[in-house]
Structure 1
Amino acid sequence: MKKMQSIRNNTTLYVSILTFIGLVSVITLQSIWLFNTYKLIENNIQKESYATIEKALEEEGNMRFGQTPKGTKIKSGPTNDTIPPMTYFYERLSDMGYPMSLHNLDSITAELLIQNGLGKQYYIYIINLRTGEKLNGIGTQREPSFMAIKPKYFPIRSDYTQVVQLIITNPNKTFLERMGLLIIATIIIMVFVIGSITYQIKIISRINKISQIREDFSYAMVHDMKTPLSSILSALNFLQGGRLDSKPEMKEKFFNIAKDEADHLLTLTNKVLTISKLENNKLEMNCEMVMLKHLLLKISEKFKAKSPKPVTFKFDLEAESIYADAEYIEEVFCNMIDNSIKYSNDSVDIKISSSENSKYSIIKIYDNGLGMNEDDQLKIFNKYERAYASRKKKTYASGFGLGLNFVQQVIEAHKGKIIVNSVEGEFTEFIIYLPLILKEL
């Protein structure tokens, strides 16, 4: 068992590491993809911004040229990669007494930015590139954000004593419009990946839990079947050897031991089969009126005789009968009384009462045993759950952890319900509700 637990833990660790690596890889790839897309869009916006200010300058220059006398010609100068041909045009106009109008440039730029989908938040600087001095400026927003787009300078004088720079001070909306679908797709992919990984981890955890339950069940089954099987084999050896032929009372005693232990094994086997049938809705309840007093006295006498500790029973039966399957309801009471005895101190007092309301027969089974906390009360009806009392006693609690699950399944098959009230270290009380009349099950 320890080896299997170690293998399971190692497997869980390896899967967790691989899952973490996979998640980090996916997030890294998505981040690289988003970053590269962002830089590509940023580069495109820079080019579009430069083209916008270039066109705005051209239109503003043509407006100034329209003010010159007819027949005016403006001679260009030598051009290269840094000085565009239009630079001499703007320079000559200024030297001729037609200076740049920042307001006209601002109006033209604002209109072009809107047409090109570059937003309304910008600022235009006139800068002496030789000294770095900002000579003038105009626009809708002067302070740039950390995402501001700053395209290259456009010289309006060939000696770079005046250059124009358009800054898109807050291009967030533009980025969002151009990357919106990509961002949404990325979020969907990440949610899907994280959801899938989370679901995978839950499945692995559930598989490990089921594996642990199977091991615990196998251990409990072997433990609980070993004792009665040993008793049966010992009794049969005595009976087969003929040593008790001259002692009929002892022979009868060993025969009864073998029979009782065989009945015990059969009961355990039937309990497992019954739960399986109940869960698959293959078990039919044959209900009839069952006299409570007769049934409970029979059960109490059986437990008094075989219990290893003193047991006292007290009955308060206002409702004398219930409508139930006699065989299965007897097994229900046996399971609950067995639990009361098993999970108690050196002695146990059990009180069983019955009553009726307009819909249900109500049976209460109270004991002064170990009790349980609220967390245990939420899970005691789960299959294979049997450790809560053992933790209090620090001893092995025999059984497969099927008893209370069996009880719940049978009660629900009767269309009834069962609840538990308990205080740790003081008492436990189970309350069973069975319909008064149940024509179909």
Structure 2
Amino acid sequence: MKTKNLNLIIVLGLVATIGILIVQLLWTKQAFTLEEKKFSQKTHFALLEVVKKLYKGTSSTLPSENPIQKIANDYYIVNVDNDFDPKVLEYYLKAEFLKFNINTDFEYAMYNCQSDEMVYGNYISQNEKTSAQKTIYFPKHKNLVYYFAIRFPNETSYLFNSLRFWFILSFALIIILLIYVYSIYTIIQQKKYSELQRDFINNMTHEFKTPLSSILLASHFLHKQDSIQKDEKLEHYTDIIIKQSNKLNSHIEQILNIAKSDNSSMKMNIKGVALLPILEEVAENMKLKHPNLALKINTPKDYSILADEFHFTNIIYNLIDNSIKYCNEDPEICITIEEIPKYLKLQFSDNGIGIPSKNTPFIFDKFYRVPSAMNNEINGFGLGLYYVKKICTLHHWKISVDNNTNKGISIVILIPN
């Protein structure tokens, strides 16, 4: 993905997430305000019912004006204009608050006209385990003779508890925003590392191309000499040098292409390819390089597949070369070809050092090398099996690896029939 597009996606995602969080917080604030109004209305209606109950059975009539005044969010006074029993008041308060689903602690006080002061009534707790709280001062109010006051000491926490879903959702959005920011930071860091790796590979492969061009030039000149052409063995070796130098040059170009972009599709020249000649050619070249190599090909017949010949040959070279490099004795490799339902199975088994089970899921990752004491002795960049996996994926083949029972590993490529 281009840097410009990635930056645009990051900014849009960040703005969208912050916008959603702001909207959520505004909704939560609005919900709290509505819940506060709802609580006030329920309290108002409940107190009106209490006033009606206090007047019931008396000769007095209900006052024409609203007897309830809201002094503060958690403090109300109620003018009953009639004498009443504190125990009866407490009973009605409990009953009406329960009826209107007001499930929070409250305390009340009554005005004593004889002593001209507020007389504390009681603290009513919804939780029996909650001990009585410290008495709060109830102020007097002018022009009222018979009235009582109600205070809700835990109203704020009660409202917050009623909106706990909103707060949990807001908290979850904040966590998501933090995770998003951290993910973006990680992506940016990984992008920097990828760019460094790509620059390193570009520089390294360009440095390889200069001496390789000189080798190819000298090899072609050497091949034209009469003394070389007259000696069949020398001419054969010169051909091998030229041929393998060309292959190495192609490998370098391929690595450059991989380094440029992992998302860019390689062009595949798919055609019918005979398996056995390619395997035999690679085996012969590898035996020239490694005289102690024992390589056996088991196949009931010669099979043909649809593949890019160049890339398929590179796959064979990579797999055999890996088996040779990671072997602490004379390498023995067995290539088996067999037909199974829906697939042609191509299996490479060796007698190498094997791979720990915990590392097998990562061996096809780019730049990954299995931790081993032999790593310091073996040259490589962890690109071989990554390349093999990429080519198999482009061909729609399946590839897997497993440890053998005795020693070494088996790499299996399943090619659809």
TM-score of the two chains, using structure 2 as the length reference? 0.63
Question: Is residue 201 of structure 2 the alignment partner of residue 201 of structure 1?
Answer: no
Cα distance, 1:211 vs structure 2: 2.4
Instruction: Pick the aligned partner of 1:280 from 252, 260, 265.
Output: 265
Instruction: Pick the aligned partner of 1:66 from 51, 59, 73.
Output: 59
Question: Is residue 250 of structure 2 the alignment partner of residue 269 of structure 1?
Answer: no
In structure 1, the gaps of 5 or more residues are 1-18, 69-83, 94-98
- SS of the aligned residue for 1:345 comes to coil
| CA–CA separation in structure 2 for the residues paired with 1:211 and 1:342 | 29
Question: Is residue 409 of structure 2 the alignment partner of residue 428 of structure 1?
Answer: yes
- SS of the aligned residue for 1:353 comes to strand
Distance 1:415 1:101, change over 3 A: closer
- SS of the aligned residue for 1:321 comes to coil
Cα distance, 1:333 vs structure 2: 1.7
Cα distance, 1:338 vs structure 2: 1.8
Question: Is residue 195 of structure 2 the alignment partner of residue 211 of structure 1?
Answer: yes
Question: Is residue 376 of structure 2 the alignment partner of residue 394 of structure 1?
Answer: yes
What residue in structure 2 maps to residue 321 of structure 1?
A: 302
- Structure number with greater Rg is 1
Given that 1:127 and 1:134 are in contact with CA atoms closer than 8 Å, whether structure 2 keeps it comes out as yes
- SS of the aligned residue for 1:393 comes to coil
Given that 1:42 and 1:149 are in contact with CA atoms closer than 8 Å, whether structure 2 keeps it comes out as no
What residue in structure 2 maps to residue 368 of structure 1?
A: 351
Question: Is residue 367 of structure 2 the alignment partner of residue 385 of structure 1?
Answer: yes
Cα distance, 1:427 vs structure 2: 0.8
What residue in structure 2 maps to residue 335 of structure 1?
A: 318
Cα distance, 1:335 vs structure 2: 2.1
Distance 1:62 1:291, change over 3 A: closer
Given that 1:343 and 1:389 are in contact with CA atoms closer than 8 Å, whether structure 2 keeps it comes out as no
Instruction: Pick the aligned partner of 2:331 from 344, 348, 351.
Output: 348
| CA–CA separation in structure 1 for the residues paired with 2:92 and 2:280 | 102
Range 214-223 or range 332-341, more displaced? 214-223
Given that 1:323 and 1:434 are in contact with CA atoms closer than 8 Å, whether structure 2 keeps it comes out as no
For 1:397-425, what per-residue CA distance to the aligned partner results, in whole angstroms no more than 9, with x for missing partners?
Answer: 23671x33343344445543221113699
| CA–CA separation in structure 1 for the residues paired with 2:250 and 2:52 | 101
Cα distance, 1:119 vs structure 2: 0.8
| CA–CA separation in structure 2 for the residues paired with 1:270 and 1:315 | 28
What residue in structure 2 maps to residue 405 of structure 1?
A: 386
Distance 1:185 1:305, change over 3 A: closer
| CA–CA separation in structure 1 for the residues paired with 2:368 and 2:173 | 43
In structure 2, the gaps of 5 or more residues are 1-13, 62-76
Distance 1:216 1:60, change over 3 A: same
- SS of the aligned residue for 1:371 comes to coil
Query: 2:205 is matched by which residue type in structure 1?
Result: M
Cα distance, 1:340 vs structure 2: 1.6
- SS of the aligned residue for 1:103 comes to helix
| CA–CA separation in structure 1 for the residues paired with 2:57 and 2:202 | 97
For 1:242-261, what per-residue CA distance to the aligned partner results, in whole angstroms no more than 9, with x for missing partners?
Answer: 9x888877996778746642
What residue in structure 2 maps to residue 3 of structure 1?
A: none
Query: 2:356 is matched by which residue type in structure 1?
Result: N
What residue in structure 2 maps to residue 312 of structure 1?
A: 294
Pairing of 1:142-221 with structure 2 (within 5 A): 143=128, 153=138, 165-167=150-152, 174-177=159-162, 179=163, 183=167, 186-187=170-171, 189-218=173-202, 220-221=204-205
Query: 1:66 is matched by which residue type in structure 2?
Result: S
Pairing of 1:236-255 with structure 2 (within 5 A): none
Cα distance, 1:303 vs structure 2: 0.9
| CA–CA separation in structure 2 for the residues paired with 1:379 and 1:198 | 24
Cα distance, 1:393 vs structure 2: 2.7
| CA–CA separation in structure 2 for the residues paired with 1:271 and 1:136 | 87
- SS of the aligned residue for 1:335 comes to helix
For 1:313-360, what per-residue CA distance to the aligned partner results, in whole angstroms no more than 9, with x for missing partners?
Answer: 13333x322221472433322221122223333631212222223433
Instruction: Pick the aligned partner of 1:359 from 335, 342, 354.
Output: 342
Given that 2:205 and 2:256 are in contact with CA atoms closer than 8 Å, whether structure 1 keeps it comes out as no
Query: 2:350 is matched by which residue type in structure 1?
Result: D
- SS of the aligned residue for 1:366 comes to strand
| CA–CA separation in structure 1 for the residues paired with 2:149 and 2:217 | 105
- SS of the aligned residue for 2:174 comes to helix
Q: Percent identity?
A: 17
Cα distance, 1:430 vs structure 2: 1.1
